[in-house]
Amino acid sequence: MIFLKLLAKLIKILRSGVDPRHIAGGFMLGMMLGLLSFRTLFAAPLLLALILINVNLAAAVVALLMFRFIAYLADPLIHSLGYRVLVDFSGLHGFWTYIASMRIVPFTRFNNTLVMGGLILSVVLAVPCYWGVKRLIIGYRVRYQKKVENWKLIKALKGTALFRVLAGVDRLGGR
Amino acid sequence: MRKQGLVFLIVVIAIVFLVNSVVTDRWLERRLERFGSRLNGAKVELDRVDFSPFGLSLSWERLQVADPDDTWTNLFETGPCALDLALEPLLKRKFLVEDFDMQDLRFGTQRDTDGRLPKGKEAKSIAESRIVQSVRRNMEAEIERYPLLNLGVLRGQFDMESVWDAAALETPGRIALLEESLAQKYEDWEERMEHLPGEAEIAALQRDIDSIQVERIATPQEARSSFDLLQSVRERAEGYYATVQQISEDFNQQRADLAGLQAEMAGWVEEDYRRLLSIAGLPELSRESIARMLFGERFSRRMEKVLSVMGKVRTYSRKVGKYIPAKELPPRGTGQDIRFVREQDYPGFWIKRMRLTGEASGGTALEGSVLHVVSNQVMIDKPTTLFLEGKRSGGAGLAFSGLIDSRGERPHEQFDLEMRGLSLKGQTLTDFPLLPYTLSEGTATVLGSIDFEGSDFLAEVQFRGSGIDFDTSQRPEMLEDEELYRLSIALVQKINEVQFTALLRQSGEDFKMDLRSNLDDLVLSSLEEVVSEEFRQVQEELESRIEDEIGAPRSEVEALIAERESSLENKIAGTERLIKEQLDRVDQKRREIDARLKAEEEKLRKQVETELERQGEKAGEKARDLIDSLFK
């Protein structure tokens, strides 16, 4: 069911006339949220951006689920990255200590290895992700959209009532 | 900008505020309960938690902390409590409480429900401080050495068979395992012996040495080639000799280890014997053992609890004090928190002053305070201190003070307890079987202190009971035997005061436990009058049974060791002797060649001299002829 839902959303996003920049923006924010989790204050501005800026929410949801899963699998690596930045780079200790004594900042939980690792990873991936997804959508629409829509599997899937219902979910997500 | 988004956001915020007023208290209650339970190892329950995010105050109606060792009893519970959180630190995610009133504090109250944590949610066992573990182990071992007295022995009702069955000797199993391991070890040695130079190698050396026939050496070239051959034989023989020496050294090392094992075997037998005595309830009769029999069990049970608390205090105080933790592999999705602490900042958690009022058992009204419950003592440069005082009508009272100081390299915890006018009515004095009566009269004073600094542990207890009177109106079942009963009654009639002192000290590896009381000599002399002969008989029978059971397998192992060791030793010594012989023969041959060379050299020199002489005479004659012809 979840897999079908995701597939439906994906197909819908890819073939719709939505601006690729909106899809890429949504995907990027979703990726960042997925890697960061909601247990940090860093998630708040990202959520606000998702709600207030014109980005594609369906793309954000797909990216969020996808990167949440990736973050789960890569948990030990993200933890190691965070530990390295927080502990092993002793030159940064003064900076971390300074911001830890500021107001509000501690609620970001930046001193948690997973949050720090996720933050670094998401910031590093943000621009390549935005740019890559945008290029991918444009490339897909120009070269492959018609071919894919003629695939028997896609036609069969689109013929099912369930798929039509699931694909309709995207309407709730704005553009 | 998405307009619907803005509307959605406003709606969400409104919902959050609405839900907050309804759900937050319960949510917070659960969080606090879960956190406390994890820390405590049994349920911590809060009733009617009220949190005001705007007023920054927190209160509850009741707090129950279950005893992890007896989950139907609370370690303590409180009545209504309230505290105010300071705003400025809270903005930095730090919890600072100036004053915290904890009212209606009561200890050891009964619970309506089981306080055990549900399966799968049990507290993670925390690594207890090593020194606490060591003290506990030593104390247990010390107590186990002195079993409680078995009255059956005294009554002649000692059941040897049941004791024997219950003991299940461990030595035969251990010996069997040892035998297997020895057999394997000797197999390995046999394999290693194959690396010793064999007969073929030694015969080859011999052949090479024999091939040199000194009497046939005629030229310097032949002598040189014989020397080269001898040198090569020597090098080979020395290589073999080094191998044998190495094997011999290793073998001697193994023999030393085996000697240790044989001594260990004697230790196993001793352990089994001690266990049998313990199951049989046959203590050693000495002043020291009597003191342990009288009060050892009770003292160790209480110390166990104290040590468990001390262990937790020490572990947590070290844990929270740590600045940069070692890398861990936390469960997925949790990460590891690294604390960055600025010295002039607030600690993460700090209750400056906690006022306590409540009631101890027997209606003693308690009042006291705890100062500086804090997550980092170094930041505030103050230790945690506590003081509790209890008073009761009739002059009875208690005072308890404590200090927990984790600021330095050597953490320091110190606790002092003083209880006066403690009624002993209805209590038993000891678990000793000859004093099973409850007391009908008596008051006690208890002074206790614990000092735990770094890895040095010192606990002292002084108990003084006076005006003691035993209730002997009912004859206990265990004292059916007339003689024992008389002995027991005679004992209680002599006791109207008890003075008991206990000392437990550990410093590094040195451990000392000293228990004494004024009853030791009294009980010892009474026991010696009636039981020494029975004790001796049972002990002798146990020793003889152990010997019957263990003697044969032990001799078998000893024979195996002797036989295999001597065979291996002979092999090594034989090979060593043969190689040495060849080395000696090499030296002998060398000497022979040297002698032959010397003789040849001598012969040659003589020939040369004779020739020179002859040549000299000839030259003289020639010279004379020449001179004559010149002067003619």
Query: Could you report the per-residue pLDDT of B443-469, keeping only the tens digit for each?
Result: 999 999 999 998 899 999 999 999 999
Nearest Cα to Cα of residue B378 among B338, B411, B413: B411
Residue B322 has pLDDT above 70, yes or no: no
Check residue A169 and give its pLDDT: 44
ipTM exceeds 0.95: no
With a cut of 60, say whether residue A44 has pLDDT above it.
Answer: yes
3-state SS of B415-445? EEEEEEEEECCCCECCCCCCCCCEEEEEEEE
Instruction: Specify the pTM.
Output: 0.60
- Of B154, B394, B141, nearest to B285 by C-alpha is B154
Checking if the pLDDT of A1 tops 70, the result is: no
* Residue showing tokens 């003191």: B291
Tell me the per-residue pLDDT of A70-115, one tens digit each, with 9 for 90 and over.
999 999 999 999 999 999 998 999 899 889 888 889 889 999 999 9
Residue B483 has pLDDT above 80, yes or no: no
- State yes or no: pLDDT of B632 exceeds 70: no
CB contact under 8 A, B2 and A53: yes
Left (φ > 0), alpha (ψ -120 to 50) or beta: where does B281 sit?
Answer: left
d(CA B306, CA B319): 20
Q: Which two tokens stand for residue B573?
A: 């010594």
Distance from CA of A148 to the nearest CA of B (A): 32
Test mutation, B322, B327, B337, B338, chain A, max A CBs within 10 A: B338
B330: which residues sit within 8 A by CB, 6+ positions away? A79, A113, B336
Comparison of pLDDT for A64 and B39, the residue scoring more: A64
- A86 vs B4, B330, B338: nearest CB: B338
Enumerate helices (H) and strands (E) in chain A, giving the number of each. Answer: 10, 0
A55: nearest CA partner in chain B: B2
Determine, for residues B91 and A104 on separate chains, whether the beta-carbon distance falls below 8 Å: yes
Is residue A175 pLDDT above 50, yes or no? no
Q: How far apart are the first and last CA of chain B?
A: 150
Query: Is pLDDT of B399 > 90?
Result: yes
Alpha-carbon separation of residue B620 from B612, B625, B628 (angstroms): 12, 9, 12
**Amino acid A33: pLDDT:** 94
Q: What is the pLDDT of residue A162?
A: 65
* CA distance to A99, B193, B240, per residue, from B575 (Å): 77, 10, 9
B385 against B348, higher pLDDT: B385
CB < 8 Å to A82, chain B: 335-336
Q: Do B340 and A114 touch (CB under 8 A)?
A: no
DSSP string, A3-17: HHHHHHHHHHHHHS-
Closest residue to B91, CB basis, from A75, A76, A103: A103
- Cβ within 8 Å of B, A 144-163: none
The span from the CA of A165 to the CA of B332, in Å, is: 35
Question: Which residues in chain A touch residue B337, judged by CB atoms under 8 angstroms apart?
Answer: 109, 111-113
Report how far residue B96's alpha carbon sits from residue B81's, in angstroms, rounded to the nearest whole number.
Answer: 16
- Indicate the residue type of A62: V
**B3 vs A contacts (CB less than 8 Å):** none
- Domain limits of chain B? 129-148+286-321+424-530, 171-264+560-603
| Residues contacting residue A5 through CB under 8 Å, at least 6 positions apart | A166, A169
A51:B93 CB<8 A: no
Interchain contact, B337 vs A82, CB within 8 Å: no
The pLDDT of residue B173 is 87
Beta bridge partners of B462: B447, B501
The per-residue pLDDT for A170 is 45
CB contact under 8 A, B330 and A79: yes
How many CB atoms are closer than 10 A to CB B329?
10
Residue B589: the pLDDT is 87
Assess whether pLDDT exceeds 70 at residue B201.
yes
Residues of B in contact with A100 (CB under 8 A): 339-342
pLDDT above 90 (res B370) = yes
The confidence score (pLDDT) of residue A174 equals: 39
pLDDT band at B188 (very low <50, low <70, confident <90, very high): confident
Highest-confidence range of B150-164, B415-429, B475-489, by mean pLDDT? B415-429
Q: What are phi and psi of B251, to 5 degrees?
A: -65, -40
- pLDDT > 70? residue B138: yes
Q: Do B342 and A107 touch (CB under 8 A)?
A: no
pLDDT at position B413 is 92
- Distance separating alpha carbons of residues A35 and A41, to the nearest angstrom: 13
Say yes or no for a CB contact (<8 Å) between A96 and B8.
no
Question: Which residue in the set A53, A96, A101 is minimally distant from B92, CB to CB?
Answer: A101
Is the model more confident about B616 or about A30? A30
Q: Which residue has the higher pLDDT, B154 or B610?
A: B610
DSSP string, B294-349: HHHHHHHHHHHHHHHHHHHHHHHHHHHH-SSPPP--PPTTT--B-----TTS--SE
pLDDT in tens, B237-277: 888 888 888 888 888 888 788 777 777 888 888 888 878 87
* Distant-in-sequence, close-in-space partners of B306: CB < 8 Å, separation ≥ 6: B450, B459
What phi and psi, each to the nearest 5 degrees, are found at residue B484? Answer: -65, -40
Name the range with the highest mean pLDDT among B28-32, B34-38, B239-243, B264-268. B239-243
Of residues B125 and B54, which shows the higher confidence score? Answer: B54
Structure tokens at B469: 């009177």
SS3 of B140-185: the string is HHHHHCCCCCCHHHHHCCCCHHHHHHHHCCCHHHHHHHHHHHHHHH
Assess whether pLDDT exceeds 60 at residue A167: no
Q: What is the mean pLDDT of residues B547-556?
A: 85
Mean per-residue pLDDT, A148-154? 77
Mean pLDDT of B203-227: 83
User: What tokens does B463 get?
Assistant: 């108990």
Residue A64: predicted pLDDT: 92
Query: Does any CB of chain A come closer than 8 Å to the CB of residue B332?
Result: yes
From the list B292, B340, B322, the residue with the least C-alpha distance to B142 is: B292
Question: Taking CB atoms and an 8 Å cut-off, how many pairs form between chains A and B?
Answer: 81
Specify the range with the lowest mean pLDDT, choosing from B320-334, B482-496, B527-541, B590-604.
B320-334
pLDDT score of B257: 80
Strand partners, B438: B428
Write the pLDDT tens digit of every residue in A109-148. Answer: 999 999 999 999 999 999 999 999 999 988 888 888 778 7
Q: CB of B92 within 8 Å of any CB in chain A?
A: yes
Predicted confidence (pLDDT) per residue in B567-610, tens digit = 888 888 888 898 898 889 888 888 888 888 888 888 888 988 89
Mean pLDDT in residue range A12-19: 73
Say which of A82, A97, A107 has its CB closest to residue B342. A97
Q: How far is CA B331 from the centre of its chain?
A: 29
- DSSP annotation of B68 reads T
Q: What is the DSSP letter of A142?
A: I
A172 close to B (CB below 8 A):
no
**Cβ(A73)–Cβ(B332) below 8 Å:** no
Residue B385 has pLDDT above 90, yes or no: yes
Q: What percent of chain B has a predicted confidence (pLDDT) above 90? A: 18
The per-residue pLDDT of chain B, averaged, comes to 84
Least confident of A139-143, B71-75, B153-157, B292-296: B153-157
Average pLDDT across chain A, whole number: 84
| Cβ-contact B81, B335 below 8 angstroms | no
- In the DSSP assignment, the letter for residue B542 is H
Distance between B337 CA and the closest CA of chain A, angstroms: 4
Residue type, B531: V
